[in-house]
Structure 1
Amino acid sequence: MEYFEKNTNGFWLDTLEGLLERFPELELPHKQDFYTLLFIDSAKGEIIIDKVKIDTDQAKLIIIKPDCVSSITLDKYAKGSIINFTSDFFDLRYNTNLLYQFSFLKKWEKPFVRLTEKQVYKWNSLLLLVKKEYQNCSKGFRNVLCSYLNILLFEFERAYNPVRTIEQNHSRESKIIYFKQLIDKHYKSKKTPSQYANLLHVSANHLNKVCKKETGKTAGSLIRQRILLESQRLLQYTNLTVNEIALEMGFDTPSYFITFFKKQYGCTPEVFRKRQNDLFYFV
């Protein structure tokens, strides 16, 4: 959704009622680079994800993962909520690999679960709290929203009954998860694909091919993404100086860190920090 990508900070919430009147482009097959969580209370229509049709004939939770091709068809009186969020939004508050522990986010799992009346009541209650926080934008609201999102994902996990299918790419996907876990553990000291390839006992070329196949990104890009995420966290949530952050992140010199950061974000760490401080506070 172009609106989400241009006008949010990684989290967006709306109601399902009249959704397609506001965003008719959702009816067309499209690919996105963020997660969409749909809570269907009652609705007539269907959600299609990678050619799999999910009827909205009863209460459901549906997850649309990044890079999936999806379309949404709902009547204008549909009841429920839609939440879009990026992995970066979630990762700023929690460990970067926490999303991978949720069964329903794995590539080979079905992307929905049916809800009981009791579960529907609970989700409506939780989403009222999320909506209030989202609309008020009080001090620290972004952190609170991230905490609520974590609760919603765990509630999804509790309701979820995984139905595994035979997936030929399972071993490759498991290797990507392990690679990301290694990055999370060593990103301050190991910054090249070859270093991680050695830990995985594969060639750097093979690792890069697997990464491109499963994520669309190179191994080097995934490593840089993790370094930038932690740098962003430190700039946003601590009072460490740029020099101290450079040292903490394992860069030889502050100037090298500044050059690295500016190349990725188009601005210096100090400018980035000022922009974030205009919106959020340190915790």
Structure 2
Amino acid sequence: MCEIKNINSTAITQNKLKFSIYKTIDFLPYMKELDVPHRHNYNMILLNERNSGKQLVDFEECIIEPFSITCLHYGQIHQWLDYDKIEGYIIVFENDFFALRHQNYELSEFSFLTYRHKIPYAKVSKEQFENVKSIALWMLKEFSGKGNNFDKHLYSLLNLMLLELDRLFEPNNKNTEFSQSLQLIYHFEELIDKYFREKHFVKDYASVLHVRPNYLNAVCNEVTKSSAGDLIRNRIILEAKRLLIHEKKTASEIAYELGFTDNSYFGRFFKKYENNTPDGFKKMFLKN
């Protein structure tokens, strides 16, 4: 069983900015240290231009193809599996780095940096990749040169890159009504991530958001194709899996940590949505 490592961005960025950009060949020493399961306190964007690799993101194996983009957000559990041949760029930044410049524009507005995309991965055309790569090269120049106001340039370039990625991950035009629905989902997802241990019911979140439970559920179905209850349950199940595999905790300890007063109910809950018991899932995952 692998115990999870918690990796702080300063160990990767080596600066107080809470931001860094690397060519993958220069990031290799970190990859070798992080080829075990680890949890990020930062966001990471991988732009892979050449060759292939493999990584594990929250129990899902993810192939790294040429002309592909992978986005990992705060809190995800990640492991590099096959990485020494990929060629591209890696951008690392904390939420705080973005917030310093864009106080009224939250990162949660970018769906690929939320739990809505289990593994935000996109295989794109060469032209699309070149558009994003050009921003990365500009970032690299500013980051390496450290000229006047280089940090402000980096804030703006990061925002530009995220907007470009938003076109790739959310290609449909967002009318005003749909944008309002997205805002509600963003806030709902933030609340889930903050309170999933103690709030298990849609009505609890609807009350905080000042909407009716039925309305919240309808918006979730429209935007995410999942019910509000499913979004809450998915987050609880994800954390249960993390605790089972990486924290060496028993099912009863996990039940208590996730706010279940009845251990047997937690077992039934897990089995209903995973078609396996907690112990069965642990044994199957470690065997594979």
Specify the TM-score bucket, using the shorter chain as the normaliser.
0.5 to 0.7
The alpha-carbon distance between structure 1 residues 7 and 18, as it changes in their structure 2 partners (threshold 3 A), is closer
Pairing 1:249-264 to 2, within 5 Å after superposition? none
Q: Alpha-carbon deviations, 1:2-32, whole Å to 9, x = none?
A: 5226534110111112533354122111001
Q: 1:85 aligns with which of 70, 81, 93?
A: 93
Q: 1:114 aligns with which of 112, 123, 127?
A: 123
Q: 1:153 aligns with which of 157, 162, 166?
A: 162
**1:18/1:75 contact within 8 Å kept:** no
Once the two structures are TM-superposed, the CA of residue 201 in structure 1 deviates from its matched residue by 8.1
User: 2:134 aligned with 1:125, yes or no?
Assistant: yes
- Give the secondary structure class of the aligned counterpart of 2:101: coil
Once the two structures are TM-superposed, the CA of residue 103 in structure 1 deviates from its matched residue by 2.0
Q: 1:136 aligns with which of 134, 137, 145?
A: 145
User: 2:103 aligned with 1:95, yes or no?
Assistant: yes
The residue type paired with residue 40 of structure 1 is N
The alpha-carbon distance between structure 1 residues 179 and 96, as it changes in their structure 2 partners (threshold 3 A), is farther
- 17-26 vs 108-117, which deviates more? 17-26
The residue type paired with residue 112 of structure 1 is Y
The alpha-carbon distance between structure 1 residues 74 and 179, as it changes in their structure 2 partners (threshold 3 A), is closer
- Rounded to whole Å, the distance in 1 between the matches of 2:18 and 2:124 is 27
- Give the secondary structure class of the aligned counterpart of 2:44: strand
The residue type paired with residue 121 of structure 1 is E
Pairing 1:5-84 to 2, within 5 Å after superposition? 7-17=15-25, 19-84=27-92
Once the two structures are TM-superposed, the CA of residue 49 in structure 1 deviates from its matched residue by 0.8
The residue type paired with residue 188 of structure 2 is K
* Structure 1: runs of 5 or more not aligned: 163-170, 181-196, 203-209, 217-283
Partner of 2:12: 4
- Rounded to whole Å, the distance in 2 between the matches of 1:63 and 1:89 is 16
What number of residue pairs does the alignment pair up? 182
Tell me the TM-score normalized by structure 2.
0.55
- 97-106 vs 125-134, which deviates more? 97-106
What's the RMSD between the two structures over aligned residues? 3.1
The alpha-carbon distance between structure 1 residues 133 and 92, as it changes in their structure 2 partners (threshold 3 A), is same
The alpha-carbon distance between structure 1 residues 176 and 67, as it changes in their structure 2 partners (threshold 3 A), is same
The alpha-carbon distance between structure 1 residues 132 and 6, as it changes in their structure 2 partners (threshold 3 A), is closer
User: 2:188 aligned with 1:175, yes or no?
Assistant: yes
The alpha-carbon distance between structure 1 residues 85 and 147, as it changes in their structure 2 partners (threshold 3 A), is same
- Rounded to whole Å, the distance in 1 between the matches of 2:51 and 2:135 is 20
The alpha-carbon distance between structure 1 residues 72 and 144, as it changes in their structure 2 partners (threshold 3 A), is same
- 74-83 vs 107-116, which deviates more? 74-83
- Rounded to whole Å, the distance in 2 between the matches of 1:131 and 1:33 is 22
Q: Alpha-carbon deviations, 1:84-116, whole Å to 9, x = none?
A: 101110011013543122121221214111110
Q: Alpha-carbon deviations, 1:164-203, whole Å to 9, x = none?
A: xxxxxxx9974354799xxxxxxxxxxxxxxxx877489x
- Give the secondary structure class of the aligned counterpart of 1:9: coil
- Rounded to whole Å, the distance in 2 between the matches of 1:159 and 1:37 is 14
The residue type paired with residue 147 of structure 2 is S
The residue type paired with residue 88 of structure 2 is G
The residue type paired with residue 66 of structure 2 is Q
- Rounded to whole Å, the distance in 1 between the matches of 2:92 and 2:86 is 18
Tell me the TM-score normalized by structure 1.
0.56
Once the two structures are TM-superposed, the CA of residue 119 in structure 1 deviates from its matched residue by 1.2
Once the two structures are TM-superposed, the CA of residue 129 in structure 1 deviates from its matched residue by 0.9
- Rounded to whole Å, the distance in 1 between the matches of 2:162 and 2:185 is 25
**1:36/1:64 contact within 8 Å kept:** yes
Partner of 1:231: none
- Rounded to whole Å, the distance in 2 between the matches of 1:161 and 1:104 is 9
- Give the secondary structure class of the aligned counterpart of 2:66: coil
Once the two structures are TM-superposed, the CA of residue 159 in structure 1 deviates from its matched residue by 1.3
Partner of 1:280: none
Name the % identity. 22
- Rounded to whole Å, the distance in 1 between the matches of 2:129 and 2:105 is 28
